[in-house]
Amino acid sequence: MITTVAISGAEVARWGVWLGDECVAERGGVTGVAGAAREGDSVATACETAAMGDDRSMPATTPTPPTACFLHGLESSSQGTKARWFEERFPGVLLRDYEGDLDQRMTQLISQLDGRDDLVLIGSSFGGLMATQFALRYPERCRRLVLLAPALNHAGYAPPAEPLDVETVLVTGTQDTVCPPDVIVPLAQATFRRLEVQVEEDDHLLRWTFPQLDWVRLLSR
């Protein structure tokens, strides 16, 4: 199915992002439906239009954006606050419950993502450690990591001999006493060559920062 949007092709191509059954382009508060995909596709379907340089309505075509997956923390689940936030606003983000120790959770994650590439992994706390471990094993399958107060201070974690060339955004809070920024940021710097660090006035849950992040950019190409 193809619909049209009253927004410039350049803007749609830049800001198209998967939102469940619809592909929505957001820019400066303007939102328009630009395409759709079949439920159950292994990769989400997103917006692309010819960059025509004006604001005429136009048909959209459908390239393939990254597949996004949210990894919850140790004591959380797919019904936690962040997971439900994604479910409501970005329902194309993959969610599931992970249980057991790190090795067991990694086995569950690897099975969940079997056959999927071009991944955006969003990891919260222990989920951030899981995302990092996945990238260490399969760097070529990862487009981007978004690490929210990642538990890189978990016992046994050590950075690789050579930093990974995987785009990574790390968000941490100055009031985080669980995964203190002065501990996890140096570990992340030793792990990732292409690292963006955001240090916010927030705690471990990032309750104020999380919904304010630019998720359209983080979930897009």
- Residue 42 resides in a domain: yes
Shared-domain flag, residues 165 and 82: yes
Structural domain range at position 180: 67-212
pLDDT for 49-96, tens place per residue?
333 333 434 344 555 679 999 999 999 999 999 999 999 999 999 999
Q: What is the pLDDT of residue 101?
A: 97
Amino acid at 111: S
Structural domains counted in the chain: 2
Check: pTM over 0.95? Answer yes or no.
Answer: no
51 is a domain residue: yes
Q: Please give the average per-residue pLDDT across 20-49, as a whole number.
A: 37
42 against 20, higher pLDDT: 20
Position 48 confidence tier, pLDDT thresholds 50, 70, 90: very low
23 assigned to some structural domain = yes
- Name residue 158's amino acid: A
In this predicted model, what pLDDT tens digit does every residue of 154-207 receive, in sequence order?
A: 999 999 999 999 999 999 999 999 999 999 999 999 999 999 999 999 999 999
| Boundary (domain end) residue, out of 59, 88, 105 | 59
Residue 195 to residue 192: CA distance in whole angstroms: 6
In terms of domains, do 101 and 26 share one? Answer: no
Verify that 44 and 77 share a domain, yes or no: no
pLDDT of residue 25 exceeding 50, the answer is: no
Can you spell out the DSSP letters for 97-163? Answer: ---SSHHHHHHHHHHHTTT--SEEEEEETHHHHHHHHHHHH-GGGEEEEEEES--TTSTT----SS-
Note whether residue 221 is domain-resident: no
Note the pLDDT of residue 63: 55
Q: What is the pLDDT of residues 116-164, one digit of tens each?
A: 999 999 999 999 999 999 999 999 999 999 999 999 999 999 999 999 9
Q: Does residue 71 share a domain with residue 52?
A: no
32, 127: one domain: no
- Neighbouring CB atoms inside 10 A of 85's CB total 15
Question: What pLDDT sits at residue 194?
Answer: 98
